[in-house]
Amino acid sequence: MQEERRPGQLGEYWLSQRKNSPVWCRTWFDTQSRGRQTRRASLGTRDFEEAQVRLAEWYIAQRALNNEPPERVTFKEILDRWFKAVGCKQERDGESALGAVDIFTEFYTRDGHESTIAEVTEKTHEEFLAWFAARPTRFGTPPSPGYMHRVIGVGVAALNWAKKKEMVRSVPFLKNVTVSTDDERKARPMTQGMLARFLNACTPATEHVWLWALWSINTMARPTAVVRLTRAQLDFDERTVDLNPRGRRQNKKRRPVVPMTATILPYARAAGPLVIPYSTTKGTRELKSIRQGFDRVRARAGLPEDVTTYSIRRTMSRELRRRGVPGLDIAGMLGHKVKGFSTTEGYAEFDPDYRGPAPRAIDVYCAELSPLLRRPITLSAVTPPARRRTRRQSASAALVQADKMVGADGIEPPTPCMSSKCSTAELRAYPESACELRTSDETQTIQKQALRLVEDHHVKGAFPVDKQGNSSPFEPTGVQQETKG
């Protein structure tokens, strides 16, 4: 005699209602308990047909897949399982992965039919690409090739994950769109005047863009790394900024530990839990992306469209190179790997003069930029924390000091600065290739004041004087001794 099927039965589960309750429940026998007790879980609906659908969705999500044929597994099921297991855990792309899953689901569940893996063929994928290219984004514009590339990559990752986990016997190949993913090379570097125009175009509504740009100048980090920066990543004892938050795994877009410049120090101390907060009418919340606000400020400043969020990073890279900062220091600031230094670089942040030339050059650049801004950059008047010297460094310093003395009298010999007939301002003049020539006396006066304040942030005499008596703020290889006439 054939066993009678219960209402809405799927395998070992069926629909039932509790006494005095019209809500339908998912029901099953608990074989692990004594006496095969009946268990129920509410489906949250009084409609029988809707309860059947919810039971079916739950059953599909919970069933075990073991080398199933492609005809028995839907593409939507694979996408949902992948997102719950992998996609939602991605620190950076969790929300974008969910959006990609929704786009695939929208196309492959049209007309109420859920396409199986076997139905995802080359022809249907070409139809999907044509449909996706004509589908407007939430901004009302066609999707860019880079956006399409990322969305299709989610589908490819989900299928490959299902094949690796032996859920499906075979998966189709999804051809991706061709796109140049190197955003840094396409970004146009900005001159100092262009950067000043950009910062002056920021309004109170785009305060977060101004703050993001200032942190980008001083850390040279990628746009997303600055957007997601938190106070927990700031180390005020060592004066460093860890661009890679705790718990995030490094990838090929490496986020290094960079020194905290004197320019950014007051802003770091004033920062809350979110370094770049986004203020709205409903309060302050986490900033998801800087691109929309950046585009508004760029349009208001009248800058070309090839000025992108990566332009500041490229600008500072070229600026530091032009100012004589060693290439190894610039590579470290950018997070680029240098052959033969991948392991050694992990201990670079413990150097007493960690990337010394780079932060000093950035501070000088900000001192030049500040007089051009309607809202000058605030500079801190504190000195860096004293670094504990090792025994070898202390001995070396003692030898250098003894070498500068004459006999037992301890009389210091005259330095090249004493015999030079040029003024202090001339000694500390900028190289012509490092800054623009200015004709305004007022601007030059403000600039000199800013430069003196910048020098006070670092160790006294950090800008060396060479044998010819020339002083350079960009290559602090020694200690300048101040003398009294």
With 50 as the cut, is the pLDDT of residue 10 above it?
A: yes
Say if CB 59 and CB 13 are below 8 A apart. Answer: yes
Domain boundaries, the chain: 12-63, 64-181, 190-354
Q: Report the distance separating Cα 437 and Cα 22, nearest Å.
A: 82
Residue 40 φ then ψ, to 5°: -135, 145
Q: What is the CA radius of gyration of the chain?
A: 31
Which stretch, 149-163, 324-338, 346-360, has highest mean pLDDT?
Answer: 149-163
E strand intervals along 203-248: 234-235, 240-242
pLDDT of residue 345: 52
Residue 341 has a pLDDT of 55
Return the biggest CA–CA distance within the chain. Answer: 117
Q: Which residue has the higher pLDDT, 143 or 477?
A: 143
Strand order in the sheet with 257-259: 234-235, 240-242, 257-259
Q: What is the pLDDT of residues 18-66, one digit of tens each?
A: 988 999 998 988 777 666 688 889 998 999 989 988 888 787 777 777 8
pLDDT digits (tens, 9 = 90+) for 437-484: 334 455 555 555 555 555 554 433 333 334 444 433 333 333 333 333
For residues 72-84, give the mean pLDDT.
88
Cα 383 to Cα 388: distance, rounded to the nearest angstrom: 15
Inform me whether the pLDDT recorded for 332 exceeds 60: yes
pLDDT at 477: 34
Q: Which fold has domain 190-354?
A: hpI Integrase; Chain A (1.10.443)
Give me the mean pLDDT over the 261-289 stretch. Answer: 87
Query: pLDDT tens for residues 156-199?
Result: 999 999 999 888 999 999 988 876 655 555 788 999 999 999 99
Cα→Cα distances 414→53, 405, 484, Å: 92, 11, 10
CATH fold of 64-181 reads: DNA polymerase; domain 1 (1.10.150)
Residue 247 gets the label, from left (phi > 0), alpha (psi -120 to 50) or beta, of left
Contact 364, 474 (CB under 8 A): yes
The pLDDT score that the predictor gives to residue 99 is 86
Residue 26 and residue 55 in contact, taking contact as beta carbons nearer than 8 Å: yes
Global pTM exceeds 0.75: no
Q: Of 40-54, 76-90, 194-208, 265-279, which gets the smallest average pLDDT? A: 76-90
Give the tens place of pLDDT for each residue, 102-137: 999 999 988 778 899 999 999 999 999 999 999 988
Whether the CB-CB separation of 276 and 211 falls below 8 Å is answered with yes
Assigned token pair, 61:
């999500």
Task: Evaluate if residue 89 carries a pLDDT over 90.
Answer: no
First to last CA, the chain: 116
Rounded Cα gap, residues 191 and 197, in angstroms: 10
Residue among 188, 185, 209 at smallest CA distance from 198: 209
Tokens describing residue 149 = 């590339």
State the pLDDT confidence band at 202, using cuts at 50, 70 and 90.
Answer: very high
Tell me what pLDDT residue 329 has: 84
Of the pLDDT bands very low, low, confident and very high (cuts 50, 70, 90), residue 406 is very low
Give the mean model confidence (pLDDT) for residues 211-235: 93
Please determine, for residue 430, whether its predicted confidence score (pLDDT) is greater than 80. Answer: no
With left for phi above 0 and alpha for psi between -120 and 50, is residue 142 left, alpha or beta?
beta
